Amino acid sequence: MSTRRRIWIQTLGMEQRESAKAAFTTRRVPRAAMRTIVGGAVRPRTGDLVLARIVRLGHHRHIEQPDGRRAVLHVGDDIIVTYGDRYATDQFESHVPRNLGRTQLVASGGIASEVLSHSQAVRTATEIMPIGLLGDDRGRPLNIMAFALDPVFPESARPRTIAVIGTAMNSGKTTTIHYLVNGLSRAGMRAGVTKITGTGSGNDYWCMLDAGAHRMLDFTDVGLSSTYRQPLGLLERKFGELVNHLTASGSAANFVEIADGIYQAETARLLDSNAFHSLIDAVVFAAPDAMGAAAGVTHLQRLGHDVVAVSGLLTRSPLATREAAGATGLPVLNLEQLSDLAVTGPLLGLERVGAEPDGQGDLVPILTPRQVRRATSLASNAPLARPATRKVFVLAAVHPIMAGSRS
């Protein structure tokens, strides 16, 4: 006797839909589009929306909502999240499960996934029970890829585009961009920011808007809940789309954050790709210590990237700052210097600060002679030949977000 695996579809009630706590990763999908629940013999895909119920609280006890609010979770709460893989050395390694059975919430941005391993530094993951995939009025599962931004083709030339890369998660990448963007914003310069790899999280998104970013986008805006285990061709295409959106928005400079570390599989392939080389003009490297800074800078230089400065958690320590400057031969920038366009402008190739129209309505910075002298002096402090007379950058106060995204 043969048995048939069955798929069932039922109407999603308005009260159930509206009372569920939706996550950041679902923010591009209108609630009105969620009309049915699809269950049974369904194999979820990365990016599929799922209605699930909290069974047991673990590491994640809040969920980041589309408006940035962190909602407290309770056992029995219904949540709307997306399926996705996760790679987080400080938290969880997980894959999209093969069925709609009990699974885990592995990111507060809203990722449902089956945990394979986790860091001993975190609790076990919060357990969730899927009620079913969310579907449209015809019972077709909703996936965030269907709600991605349409590609654009800017008429203007791409502005200077700077990547911030680090040794691993929580090395100071997000904070580095935050202060760079804040410095440009305060100088009247429109900075666009995108995060092109990682796991869907609202922390970095709202952080950049708070810094004054002219436009902030991440991979969830182009249809990916997570970039882990995605093919290189897709990542290259989505990378290009995100940069094009920043350019089309009128950004005078683009900043690109690469999640995790340089040895993470997708990151390693992306850093060596033609797309990355063609779209990135300069790199700032974030590290927690001098050895990480030296190894990372050397690796990126061997790949042919123009690494112009170092920053990150190591700037908490004057000694670590001095070590990194000596080992890399590059300026090591603390928070105060990152937010000073007179310092960063020449290093990043944004050699004009102030606020003048460029003929197309964009703000183009202009450096005063005094600022030029100051920036040139700071840049020349990078150690080159005489260790005994080297000057190093001093420590500034460390902002709480320097620890990066803890989602």
One digit per residue, pLDDT tens: the chain, 407 residues?
333 579 999 999 999 999 999 999 999 999 999 999 999 999 999 999 999 999 999 999 999 999 999 999 999 999 999 999 999 999 999 999 999 999 999 999 999 999 999 999 999 999 999 999 999 999 999 999 999 999 999 999 999 999 999 999 999 999 999 999 999 999 999 999 999 999 999 999 999 999 999 999 999 999 999 999 999 999 999 999 999 999 999 999 999 999 999 999 999 999 999 999 999 999 999 999 999 999 999 999 999 999 999 999 999 999 999 999 999 999 999 999 999 999 999 999 986 544 444 444 344 444 433 444 444 454 444 433 223 333 333 333 333 334 444 45
pLDDT for position 82:
98
> Would you say 214 and 192 are in contact if contact means Cβ atoms under 8 Å apart?
yes
Residue 29: other Cβ atoms inside 10 A = 20
pLDDT for position 351:
64
Please give the CATH topology (third level) of the domain spanning 160-403: Rossmann fold (3.40.50)
User: Closest Cα to residue 64, out of 205, 177, 228, 227?
Assistant: 205
> Would you say 332 and 307 are in contact if contact means Cβ atoms under 8 Å apart?
no
User: Closest Cα to residue 94, out of 206, 251, 225, 261?
Assistant: 225
Q: What are the residue ranges of CATH 3.40.50.300 in the chain? A: 160-403
Rg (C-alpha) for the chain, rounded Å, is: 22
pLDDT for position 4:
53
User: Closest Cα to residue 239, out of 306, 300, 169, 161?
Assistant: 161
Report the chain's mean pLDDT, rounded to a whole number.
89
Tokens describing residue 156: 């203007």
